[in-house]
Amino acid sequence: MVASASSGSSAPPGSPGSSGSSGSSSSSGSSGGDGESGASETAGVPLPPTAPASSARFPDAPPGPLPPETTPSETTARLRPVPAAAPARRRVGAVDLTPQPGTEGRPFVRFAPPEHYDDRTTRLRPVSDRLKLRAVAAVACLVLGIGLLGGATAGALLTGDDGASSARGSYRAAAELWHGIPVNRLFPRTLKGDGAGPGGADRTWTRIAVAPSSGCAHAFDPLLYKALRPAGCLRLLRATYTDATQSDVTTVGLMFTKADASAMRALHDRFARQGLAARRDLLPRAYAAPGTDAAHFGDAQRASWVVDVLTDVPVVAYAVTGFADGRTVTDPEPAADAMKPGSTTAPAQAGLGHTARGVADLIEQGLRKAVKQPTERPS
């Protein structure tokens, strides 16, 4: 009876009976809570939150409702914003690699230091004053140089001096050196001709006599003297050499002229154009010094010769060679022909053409050096 009444009665929700029944269910659910929770979730009705049992909180505190949620409120005065600390000063030479705003993702490019960069301090030293001074100095030098050039040009135009007078003075000074240069410098005691002999053989010649300075009337064949007369004979210097075997003798001469540069060029062109230096009737004469190997060196013993009209100095240089034993040469030959390969003449076979050419070249070279660096002033 009791069981059927209890199961058949249905109490509305929220009635006391329902609460008591719930309490009983809760008590019984404490032993089998899993089944009751499953029933509630199955029904789909959420259960209201319940306070934890007294045993889960403080043992002496009775169960009660949960405290309401509170909203946190500010209970102290608002703090003022603290300014950000100033960035620390970079050390000397350090580079700030922090990307600037809006440059994220861009490649970082570092340029080379400027030309006047001073990495000992973080601040660049002013160098503009130094550059300005240099620029002013350069401009001043340029203006000064232009002024000097202009003055020299104006002076040359006013005086009509274009350097020709200076050249004439040097040319005349060279003509006067004949009595200011030591004889050993014009005619060395020994001449060394490297490769001057036939086939490139080395030759050596020794001076055996020096003629006193003289005029030119008796030093040349009459026709040669006539051809040289337009240049004017100022002075003639001569010396005679012999080879190492003393088998040939050579007289070399320097005729200092009175002509200027233009006259010497004209004489040179005439000799080259007319072939006067190769004519057998225009030979220079030998200096036959008594008591030497050249004592019998006369006109009939002349075998080969050269005549050079110089244009850089007012001088006519020549050399004439022959046999030391005094033999007569019936067919003399100019040095240019006697030096040709395959020549079978007596002067060519004896190498007299090489001798005349070699001695003349060495004396001319010494003369040019003496003119450039004279050791004594003419008196």
pLDDT digits (tens, 9 = 90+) for 133-144: 777 788 888 888
By the 10 Å C-beta count (0-12 exposed, 13-18 middle, 19+ buried), 306 is classed as buried
Q: Is the dihedral of CA 152, 157, 163, 168 positive or negative?
A: negative
User: Does residue 105 carry a pLDDT above 70?
Assistant: no
Please, which pLDDT band fits residue 8 given cuts at 50, 70 and 90? very low
User: 69-73, 238-242, 297-301: which range is least confident on average?
Assistant: 69-73
What pLDDT score does 59 carry? 56
Please, which pLDDT band fits residue 25 given cuts at 50, 70 and 90? very low
For 233, half-sphere exposure in the C-beta direction (CA atoms, 13 angstrom radius) is: 21
What pLDDT score does 81 carry? 72
Mean pLDDT in residue range 254-283: 94
Q: Are 357 and 191 in contact (CB under 8 A)?
A: no
Please, which pLDDT band fits residue 119 given cuts at 50, 70 and 90? low
Please, which pLDDT band fits residue 95 given cuts at 50, 70 and 90? low
Please, which pLDDT band fits residue 73 given cuts at 50, 70 and 90? low
What pLDDT score does 150 carry? 75
Q: Are 238 and 253 in contact (CB under 8 A)?
A: yes
Please, which pLDDT band fits residue 222 given cuts at 50, 70 and 90? very high
User: 2-16, 102-116, 256-270: which range is least confident on average?
Assistant: 2-16
* All residues at 6 or more sequence positions from 168 whose CB lies less than 8 Å from its CB, including other chains: 260, 261
Please, which pLDDT band fits residue 179 given cuts at 50, 70 and 90? confident
Alpha-carbon distance of 166 to 156, in angstroms, equals: 12
Alpha-carbon distance of 334 to 277, in angstroms, equals: 8
User: 82-96, 192-206, 256-270: which range is least confident on average?
Assistant: 82-96
Alpha-carbon distance of 281 to 279, in angstroms, equals: 5
- Which sequence spans correspond to the domains of the chain? 172-372
Predicted structure pTM score: 0.57
What pLDDT score does 20 carry? 38
What pLDDT score does 373 carry? 72
What pLDDT score does 16 carry? 38
Q: What is the 3-state secondary structure (H, E, C) of the chain?
A: CHHHHHHHCCCCCCCHHHHHHHHHHHHHHHHCHHHHHHHHHHHCCCCCCCCCCCCCCCCCCCCCCCCCCCCCCCCCCCCCCCCCCCCCCCCCCCCCCCCCCCCCCCCCCCCCCCCCCCCCCCCCCCCHHHHHHHHHHHHHHHHHHHHHHHHHHHHHHHHCCCCHHHHHHHHHHHHHHHHCCCHHHHCCCEEEECCCCHHHCCEEEEEEEEEEEECCCCCECHHHHHHHHHHCEEEEEEEEEEECCCCEEEEEEEEEECCCHHHHHHHHHHHHHHCHHHCCCCCECCCCCCCCCCCCCCHHHEEEEEEEECCCCCEEEEEEEEECCCCCCCCCEEHHHHCCCCCCCHHHHHCHHHHHHHHHHHHHHHHHHHHHCCCCCCC
Which of 222 and 126 is assigned the larger pLDDT?
Answer: 222
Mean pLDDT in residue range 299-314: 95
Q: What does the mean pLDDT of the chain come to?
A: 76
Residue 346's nearest CA partner among 286, 303, 284 is: 303
Please, which pLDDT band fits residue 149 given cuts at 50, 70 and 90? confident
What pLDDT score does 41 carry? 45
pLDDT digits 0-9 by tens, 189-219: 999 999 988 888 999 999 999 999 999 989 9
Q: Which two tokens stand for residue 158?
A: 């006013």
Q: Are 134 and 116 in contact (CB under 8 A)?
A: no
What pLDDT score does 305 carry? 97
Residue 187's nearest CA partner among 158, 207, 216 is: 207
What pLDDT score does 58 carry? 53
User: Does residue 256 carry a pLDDT above 90?
Assistant: yes
By the 10 Å C-beta count (0-12 exposed, 13-18 middle, 19+ buried), 21 is classed as middle
Give the best-scoring range by mean pLDDT among 2-11, 164-173, 330-339: 330-339
Alpha-carbon distance of 22 to 36, in angstroms, equals: 11
Q: Are 227 and 246 in contact (CB under 8 A)?
A: no
Which of 245 and 5 is assigned the larger pLDDT?
Answer: 245
* All residues at 6 or more sequence positions from 208 whose CB lies less than 8 Å from its CB, including other chains: 240, 241, 242, 249, 289, 292, 293, 294
Alpha-carbon distance of 339 to 265, in angstroms, equals: 26
Tell the residue number behind the tokens 């009876």, with chain if given: 1
User: Does residue 29 carry a pLDDT above 50?
Assistant: no
User: Does residue 365 carry a pLDDT above 60?
Assistant: yes
